């Protein structure tokens, strides 16, 4: 292949730029040019691209010099977006037309569930060679132990909760901190252990609003009765009950017995998405990017690269930590992660049930 394209789609995640840098460098080393599609699939349809490689005076291929620095930055230098147009066949037809007109022979898609669904559809419908890389801070993609951005997001949550805990202890307060995770409570589960939270609330447990209020009230009641000056509860974004409403109703429930209890709500929101990627996200991004280029140039298509996958059925790559999975298998496992039928989710919930008795001590 003389030219390949790469795009970042859906929600951005720290590590995407490190992955783009690796894709450009590894491709350049193989004499292949790389075009970055601007704003995800939208760039494919609108014919908007940025050169991520360049011609060197000696005739070889080099990388865009800005990528060296960009690899250590959060976000994505080629932009990202969710595309409704690409879901329709005319949009995909236009994307294929633009790619072929530019001489592009393969595509790397970095993104989450929706992005990889689009990659699978494009590959099977057109026969164009497409390889995916999991990028989602929610860690809700099948066939990979972690996705780009997860480690950085967890570090951001830990840092925020440590600071919240400082002020909570100073004033003897309880905090309910909401973290991101629309369809998957992984960030809440993992961070709750790291920050020594007193409890964690996740969508997967299926609690009603009344049960949530009762559970939070019980944790706060017991925490203060044991002499704690700080009670910290991590709540996943996937729980539909607004955090402010949860705190308000909990305060009202506890007011008769704990009239001086102070309970605060903090929604971290998109702060969790930002920031320079951690070492782990830079390393994983680089290694997945390198394997994606190798897979594409070796003729692979309709596949995703997974990191230390817990799932069987993957094909080996040059990196022992990276395997290739067919995208249809990835999407089936992703659906199971989201609807709770995956053995991985069941195992996580079992571990959290064990931790539930230990966290408040």
Catalytic residues: 138
Three-state SS sequence of the chain: CCEEEEEECCCCCCCHHHHHHHHHHHHHHCCCEEEEECCCHHHHHHCCEEECEEECCCCCEEECCHHHHHCCCCCCCCCCCCCCHHHCHHHHHHHHHHHHHCCCCEEEEEECHHHHHHHHHHHHHHCCEEEEEEECCCCCCCCCCCCECHHHHHHHHHHHHHHHHHHHHHHCEEEEEEECCCCCCHHHHHHHHHCCCCEEECHHHCCCHHHHHHHHHHHHHHHHHCCCCEEEEEEECCCCCCHHHHHHHHHHHHCCCCCCCEEEEEECHHHHHCCCCCHHHHHHHHHHHHHHHHHHHCCCCCEEEEECCCCCCCEECCCCCEEEEEHHHHHHHHHHHHHCCCHHHHHHHHHHHHHHCCCCC
């Amino acid at each position: 292949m003389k030219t390949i394209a790469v795009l970042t789609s859906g929600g951005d995640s720290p590590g995407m730029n490190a992955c783009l840098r690796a894709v450009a460098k590894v491709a350049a080393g193989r004499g292949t040019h790389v075009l970055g599609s601007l704003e995800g699939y939208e760039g494919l349809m609108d014919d908007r691209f940025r050169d991520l490689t360049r011609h060197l005076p000696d005739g070889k291929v080099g990388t865009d010099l800005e990528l060296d620095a960009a690899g250590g930055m959060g976000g994505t230098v080629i932009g990202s977006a969710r595309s409704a147009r690409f879901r329709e066949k005319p949009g995909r037809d236009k994307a294929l037309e633009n790619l072929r007109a530019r001489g592009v022979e393969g595509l790397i898609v970095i993104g989450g569930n929706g992005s990889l669904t689009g990659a699978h559809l494009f590959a099977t419908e057109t026969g164009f060679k497409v390889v995916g890389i999991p990028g989602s801070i929610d860690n809700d993609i099948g066939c990979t132990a972690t996705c780009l951005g997860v480690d950085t997001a967890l570090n951001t949550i830990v840092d925020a909760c440590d600071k919240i805990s400082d002020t909570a202890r100073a004033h003897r307060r309880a905090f309910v901190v909401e973290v991101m995770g629309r369809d998957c409570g992984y960030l809440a589960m993992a961070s709750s252990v790291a920050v020594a939270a007193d409890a964690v609330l996740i969508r997967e447990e299926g609690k009603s609003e009344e049960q949530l209020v009762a559970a939070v009230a019980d944790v706060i009641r017991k925490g203060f009765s044991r002499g704690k000056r700080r009670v910290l509860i991590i709540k996943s974004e996937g729980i539909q009950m607004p955090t402010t409403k949860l705190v308000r109703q909990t305060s009202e429930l506890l007011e008769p017995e704990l009239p001086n209890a102070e309970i605060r709500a903090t929604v971290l929101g998109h702060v969790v998405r930002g920031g320079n990627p951690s070492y782990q996200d830079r390393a994983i991004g680089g290694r997945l990017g390198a394997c994606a280029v190798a897979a594409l140039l070796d003729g692979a298509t309709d596949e995703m690269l997974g990191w230390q996958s817990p799932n069987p059925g993957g094909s080996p790559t040059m990196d022992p930590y990276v395997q290739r999975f067919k995208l249809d298998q990835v999407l089936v496992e992703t659906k199971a992660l989201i609807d709770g039928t995956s053995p991985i989710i069941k195992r996580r919930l079992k571990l959290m049930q064990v931790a539930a008795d230990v966290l408040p001590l």
